Structure 1
Amino acid sequence: MATVTCLHDAYGRRAHTCRRVFGAAAQLLEGDADVSVSRLAAQAQMAPATLRAHFPSLEVVFAELYLHRVTTLPLDIDPDIGIADRVSDQLTAMTLLLADEPRLARMCTRVLVSTDDDAIADVRSRISDEVRRRISTALGTGAWPEVLATLESVFWGALLQAQTGPMTYRQAARQLQTMVALIVPQAGVDTCPR
Structure 2
Amino acid sequence: MSENLANESTRRRLNSRQADTVRGLTEAAVEELRSAGYSGMTVRNVASRAGVAPATAYTYFSSKNHLIAEVFWRRLQALPPVADEPREVHARVRGVLREVALLVADEASLALACTNAMLGDDPDVQHLRVRIGMGIRDRLSAALGDDGDDDVLNALEFAWIGAMVHAGMGYTTYDRVAERLTSTADLILSRRG
Q: TM-score range by the shorter chain?
A: 0.7 to 0.9
Contact 1:29/1:104 (8 A) holds in 2: yes
RMSD of aligned Cα (Å): 1.8
The one-letter amino acid paired with 1:58 is K
Pair 1:117 & 2:118 matched: no
What TM-score do the two structures reach when normalised by structure 1? 0.86
Q: Provide Cα deviations, 1:102-153, integer angstroms capped at 9, x if missing partner.
A: 1111111012222x32111101111101111111111113411111111000
Q: Provide the C-alpha distance between the structure 1 equivalents of 2:143 and 2:15, rounded to a whole number of angstroms.
A: 30
Q: What is the 5 A alignment of 1:83-122? A: 83-114=89-120, 116-122=121-127
Pair 1:27 & 2:31 matched: yes
* Equivalent residue for 1:158, pick from 158, 163, 166: 163
Following TM superposition, the consecutive aligned residue runs of length 4 or more in structure 1 with deviations greater than 2 angstroms are: 9-15
Q: Provide Cα deviations, 1:16-60, integer angstroms capped at 9, x if missing partner.
A: 122111111121122246211211001111111110010011100
The one-letter amino acid paired with 1:99 is A
- The residue aligned with 1:57 is 63
Question: Which structure dedicates a bigger proportion of its chain to helix?
Answer: 2
5+ residue gaps, structure 2, are 1-12
* Equivalent residue for 1:38, pick from 32, 38, 44: 44
Contact 1:158/1:172 (8 A) holds in 2: yes
How far off is 1:70 after superposition?
0.7
Q: Provide the C-alpha distance between the structure 2 equivalents of 1:140 and 1:45, rounded to a whole number of angstroms.
A: 45
- Relative distance call for 1:144 and 1:17 in structure 2 (3 A) is same
- The residue aligned with 2:178 is 173
Q: Provide Cα deviations, 1:59-80, integer angstroms capped at 9, x if missing partner.
A: 0000010000011012241522
Q: Secondary structure at the match of 2:65?
A: helix
Identity %: 33
What TM-score do the two structures reach when normalised by structure 2? 0.86
Q: Provide the C-alpha distance between the structure 2 equivalents of 1:162 and 1:82, rounded to a whole number of angstroms.
A: 28
Larger radius of gyration: 1
Q: Secondary structure at the match of 2:106?
A: coil
